Chain A
């Protein structure tokens, strides 16, 4: 690949995109499609592409490219397209601030500090991993306790092993993927422990990453204690009671030299908080309307910064739309506001976007709180979608058409999940 050169920075852009991962790259394509001419992506890594570079496993692109790609292939394709479209990409740079007039302050070691005017802004900062502190696992604080994503970077990009005898806490996808990676690299994965009674990752990863390698998955179990003064040397694992507290006398000790944490992602909203955007306490991301616009005029958001996705294809889909809307906004096109609030009801943890309008087709992303078999998702009385099963780990997408929405005359549409007989 051609080395990305450092483009000349202009004093204003139609659209500035914060973050050059899958969301940011797709948003740039979307903005271009909408007619935006000058687009700038600001990425903080050495090379845009985000987490895709370290996700060397396949499973990307089935929806978007209609073929199965690995993370690096997906990133490279997107970056190439973005470059060909004339989008300016600067890496190793950081957005410090965005003011009400969308004056963006960015900093990099190459460019120094700059203030640049944006017609519209797209936030695409992604997510970070939850850490031990968030679940306050008791015990010592040795080295060798790290997030699965950091381990993935060490193994796949930097070429080091985080250890040889591995215990994984949490059955999130990154944890499952790393169980396979570590095994293929010659480490011994002693087990995956999940505090919930169901797995948190995708089924295909349970099959291909655990079953294929005979790695045990212990549901309703957690790490109750971390041992080791300097380097971790064991963990105590135990089943949990119905309040998710470990049952101490049923616990056992597993000697190990590494504990990988795959206990979930949190949207990366430092900047959103700084801008005082309205945030959803469930997703921890900004509240967005059907244009993926946040509570701040002309500031859009997409991808994991809004809510955690399990498939990059959905990130791409959402980001294309956010980018298109940002592009239109920058060109002065305003669409009518939304008239319906989506309210997560029975068994539904959240819906994105948070508002929709009657006269358009919408893709609604949502998650259920617990597993269901044979269930329906209902939008008030206007629409029902039947599902054979629904899992918290798998995001559900529902397409809502105007023909249904036009029959609704309220301003708050409650979204419920029901079991069917």
Chain B
């Protein structure tokens, strides 16, 4: 069998492309090397839908950022993931930075970004009373949003699968060949034949392109460390707070996440390895030193978790999207910030490019744009909770106390494809709160074991060798 399109990479870009392609009568397969979708760069970032005015007009990034920004409301309405347009403030902490705010505003308006407002000190502090009183002025951008990026990936893929996408997880492409006009992908799980191939392999897109002889570019990983703070600080800022880039600071943000925690970060540091997701004492100090100049009430003692992600950066610092010298092979590379924001626009662009390259697009009239609503117990009213528990007792059993996640939601997540502790965690938030899974890990393992009919010893944190427990070795 020959697929119409094979997508390599199940991050936010690949997921958005897959869902967009499923609107048409096409046979599409998505190949992801990890055992869960969105497990790389897409999981470990700031979770911001950028307002649209930060990237320069004239760049591909600049164009797709604003176009993508405007598509998220419809996706959110259809697909049900954590998303809210909370607005952002870029703050000037010194008088000589006010000119930069004006420039930023002009840049945004040139691109058509709506609603930008310059606020003086008084207005800024009225809206954000916990900001440092050193603040001079700010630029308000109401189009900025916050999102749970991993949930967006799951929702897009779940929807694509509902509409016929084939998913090949824990599978990596190890070689690419041609037979006539068919691309043969050699994968760990066998050969996949396809007429078109979209390389959305993120950090590894340069290696995939090299396998195909379809591009001569290099991806450098740039690490960003992020720190999550206790919910106790909920409300300390209402908007995402951006500093202006200065010589000393690369721009550490204060982000009120969709779920009520505050996240601070990211750092930005080139690293040698595409696997180097280590956090560091230096990164920790950089983040908290910087953030405390913006919001003095934030303390390192409130940190509940930390992680690092790797941005896939090209020399040009721009996106690289388009057909390659090899027929049918399309590159989508260098999708660093604002790649999450731009993803829906990238997906539309890829469909156009595939059409230009000769792919026949025929609308599928039975395309289901919407996902069934997920149950999120903690977000329901008491009355709704009561009705739900009466109808299905497993929603009456709390598994994760910190985030109030029920057994029913965890079972739903497993049935939707979660295979690992992290898969459950990112789909349901079980284990994401202040106890970081101390209480619920064992219960979640019991549920994974029961639903998937596997022993405890086969359950992993996130696939591969990330086992949790071993059997007791009876001696004697």
Contacts and interface: CB of A to CB of B under 8 A. Distances in A.
Question: Do chains A and B directly touch (beta carbons under 8 Å) in the complex?
Answer: yes
Interface of A: 44, 92, 94, 96-97, 105, 107-113, 128-129, 131-134, 136, 138-144, 146-147, 149-150, 153-154, 158-164, 185-186, 224-225, 229-231, 245-246, 268, 270, 273
A141 B277 contact: yes
B293 interface: no
Nearest to B44: A141
Interface in B432-460: 434-439, 441-442, 456-457, 460
A164 B437 CA distance: 21
A128 B278 contact: no
B260 interface: no
B386 interface: yes
B438 A149 contact: yes
A109 B396 contact: yes
Given A128-B439, A142-B466, A113 B386 contact: yes
Contact of B227 (A136, A146, A159, A273): A136
B467 A132 contact: no
B471 A160 contact: yes
B462 interface: yes
Contacts of A246: 281
Q: Is the interface of A mostly helix, strand, loop or mixed?
A: mixed
A224 B227 CA distance: 18
Interface string B379-395: 00010011001100110
20 contacts: A94-B401, A107-B396, A110-B393, A112-B389, A112-B393, A113-B382, A128-B438, A131-B304, A132-B436, A133-B305, A138-B278, A141-B279, A142-B461, A142-B466, A143-B421, A153-B442, A161-B471, A163-B470, A230-B465, A273-B232
Given A128-B434, A154-B442, 14 more contacts: A107-B396, A109-B396, A113-B385, A113-B390, A133-B436, A136-B227, A138-B278, A138-B284, A139-B279, A154-B469, A160-B470, A162-B469, A231-B465, A273-B232
Nearest to A261: B438
Contacts of A140: 277-278
B466 A143 contact: yes
Given A92-B397, A160-B456, A160-B457, A139 B469 contact: no
Nearest to B391: A112
B389 A113 contact: yes
Contacts of B473: 161, 186
Nearest to A125: B401
A129 B439 CA distance: 9
B307 interface: yes
Nearest to B273: A229
B278 A109 contact: no
B472 interface: yes
B175 interface: no
Contacts of B280: 138
A136 B284 contact: yes
Interface string B356-382: 000000000000000000000000001
Contacts of A109: 389, 393-394, 396-397, 407
Contacts of B284: 136, 138
Contacts of B307: 141
A408 to B, nearest CB: 35
Contact of A160 (B278, B439, B469): B469
Contacts of A185: 472
B464 interface: yes
Contact of A133 (B278, B303, B386, B463): B303
B227 A143 contact: no
- Interface size, B (range): 35 or more
Contact of A129 (B300, B435, B470): B435
B402 interface: yes
A314 to B, nearest CB: 23
Contact of A270 (B227, B278, B300, B401): B401
A286 B264 CA distance: 29
A129 B394 contact: no
A109 B462 CA distance: 29
A147 B435 CA distance: 10
A107 B394 CA distance: 11
A246 B280 CA distance: 12
Nearest to A113: B386
Nearest to B455: A160
Interface in B296-344: 300, 303-307
B301 to A, nearest CB: 8
B5 interface: no
| 10 tightest A-B CB contacts, nearest first | A143-B461, A160-B469, A133-B305, A109-B393, A143-B466, A230-B466, A230-B465, A131-B436, A109-B397, A109-B396
A159 B457 CA distance: 11
B228 interface: yes
B397 A108 contact: yes
A104 B428 CA distance: 26
Nearest to B436: A131
Interface string B393-413: 110111001100001000000
B472 A160 contact: yes
A112 B390 contact: yes
B475 interface: yes
A316 B442 CA distance: 27
Contacts of B270: none
A107 B389 contact: yes
Nearest to B276: A140
B11 to A, nearest CB: 18
Given A147-B438, A186-B475, A134 B278 contact: no
A133 B398 CA distance: 23
B278 A146 contact: no
Contacts of A132: 305, 436
A143 B398 contact: no
Most buried by B among A97, A160, A162: A160
A163 B305 CA distance: 23
Contacts of A138: 278-281, 283-284
Contacts of A245: 281
Contact of A229 (B275, B279, B281, B442): B275
Nearest to A157: B442
Contacts of B442: 150, 153-154, 158
